[in-house]
Amino acid sequence: MSATSTITSTTRESTVVHPIVVQFIGRLGTEVPNARRNALGFVSHETTISTSGFDRTSPYNTAILLTAPKGAIDKLHQGDVYAISCKLISSNNRRLDDLYCGTTTILRIGKNDSIGVEYEKDVMNKVSMVALGIVVKMETVPKGDGKRGGKIVLTLTSVDFDPIDQSPVCWMTKHIVERCHQSDKFHSFCKEGAEVQIAGLIEGYDDKEWAWETRLQVYNITPCNDSTPNPNVTEKGKSGDACDSSVAKVACQKEDKMAAGINTSHKRKATKSRILAARWNKRVKVNAAHRAMRRDHGID
């Protein structure tokens, strides 16, 4: 276990988690022996996600590991086709990414001998993803005539805890946004530094940036207003600073100014209270002195 694998409760509480859920559908491959994973109670099977590519002309099966608790062994059979709700943890390198699932999220669709030879075409682009993350890059894909205003590709960074190492990992995903989804709200808020939740179908894998690619179906956008970075991301990932952009910094600066204004207001109120208290104490002392003098002269 690496030095970064020991995670304290403080680390977990200070790490902003942006999980990615994948609704996997595919054929289960052979079990991948791994002594460390097995000792920790996990078993992994190799499988693939069938995609067409963003241009829909480059069909490819990208290998990935389906990892489940040992208690799910009786439910997983090599060669059978399954629909499983999983959590994605990417490796950010040539190692296979992981889809983690529980024992209650496994649905067997069919046995090996009952699935036709056209299975690969049937499940192509059928794996869905719901990604929560921070926008770190926006690219406009020109139209076929070279003019701008076509599709937009969003690159997100997400952070989640590896169930095996219990360490936070950061990775990227890419999401293509068609013109039909580019509303006024999208252009107003979906900028670098915005926190977004995107649902789409996986249509490819970028093996240069180790990023899964989806075509957006539904999205929700929240402008970034938290300047707290994720300082505890392992060496497997990239920086998790949610506000490392000009747009986000402006939002954070506005929030700081508001906080400063509140603090200034509190200071003014506190100063006024101290002045009033001093005046009252002075008046009390003066009155006490007058009463003492009247007693000394036998007036009271």
Report if residue 46 sits inside a domain.
Answer: yes
Report if residue 291 sits inside a domain.
Answer: yes
Per-residue confidence (pLDDT) for residue 6, from 0 to 100: 45
Look at the block and give the residue holding tokens 């906080």.
Answer: 259
Report if residue 151 sits inside a domain.
Answer: yes
Kindly state whether residues 121 and 197 are assigned to the same domain. yes
List beta partners, residue 43.
68
What DSSP character marks residue 146?
Answer: S
Kindly state whether residues 265 and 137 are assigned to the same domain. no
Least confident of 182-186, 201-205, 207-211: 182-186
Task: Please give the structure tokens belonging to residue 44.
Answer: 């992994």
Predicted TM-score (pTM) of the model is: 0.69
**Average pLDDT taken over every residue of the chain:** 77
Report if residue 13 sits inside a domain.
Answer: no
Report if residue 250 sits inside a domain.
Answer: no
Task: Please give the structure tokens belonging to residue 187.
Answer: 């252009």
CA distance readout (Å), 274 to 175, 264, 271? 57, 15, 5
Q: Which residue has the higher pLDDT, 108 or 149?
A: 108
Q: What is the CATH number of the domain that holds 38?
A: 2.40.50.140
Tell me the C-alpha distance between 87 and 185, whole Å.
29
From 197, 221, 245, give the residue that closes a domain.
Answer: 221
Report yes or no: 162 and 139 within 8 Å, Cβ to Cβ.
no
Q: What average pLDDT does the segment 71-89 reach? A: 93
Work out the number of other CB atoms within 10 angstroms of the CB of residue 115.
Answer: 16
> Most distant CA pair in the chain: distance in Å?
117
From 202, 221, 240, give the residue that closes a domain.
Answer: 221
Kindly state whether residues 141 and 52 are assigned to the same domain. yes
Cα-Cα-Cα-Cα torsion 106, 112, 116, 118, nearest 10 degrees, comes to 70
Per-residue confidence (pLDDT) for residue 140, from 0 to 100: 87
Domains identified in the chain, total number: 2
Per-residue confidence (pLDDT) for residue 9, from 0 to 100: 57
Question: Domain span at residue 133?
Answer: 20-221
Tell me the pLDDT tens digit for each residue of 30-55: 999 999 999 999 999 999 999 998 87
Kindly state whether residues 215 and 283 are assigned to the same domain. no
Per-residue confidence (pLDDT) for residue 134, from 0 to 100: 94
Least confident of 66-75, 277-286, 288-297: 277-286
Nearest-CA neighbor of 28 among 70, 82, 73?
82
Per-residue confidence (pLDDT) for residue 122, from 0 to 100: 80
From 221, 244, 275, give the residue that closes a domain.
Answer: 221
Per-residue confidence (pLDDT) for residue 106, from 0 to 100: 95
Per-residue confidence (pLDDT) for residue 53, from 0 to 100: 87
pLDDT bracket for residue 256 (50, 70, 90): very low
In this predicted structure, the answer to whether residue 270 has a pLDDT above a threshold of 70 is no
What DSSP character marks residue 70?
Answer: G
pLDDT bracket for residue 291 (50, 70, 90): low
Task: Please give the structure tokens belonging to residue 224.
Answer: 């970034």
In this predicted structure, the answer to whether residue 285 has a pLDDT above a threshold of 90 is no
Report if residue 216 sits inside a domain.
Answer: yes
pLDDT bracket for residue 136 (50, 70, 90): very high
CA distance readout (Å), 29 to 21, 51, 104, 119? 21, 17, 20, 14
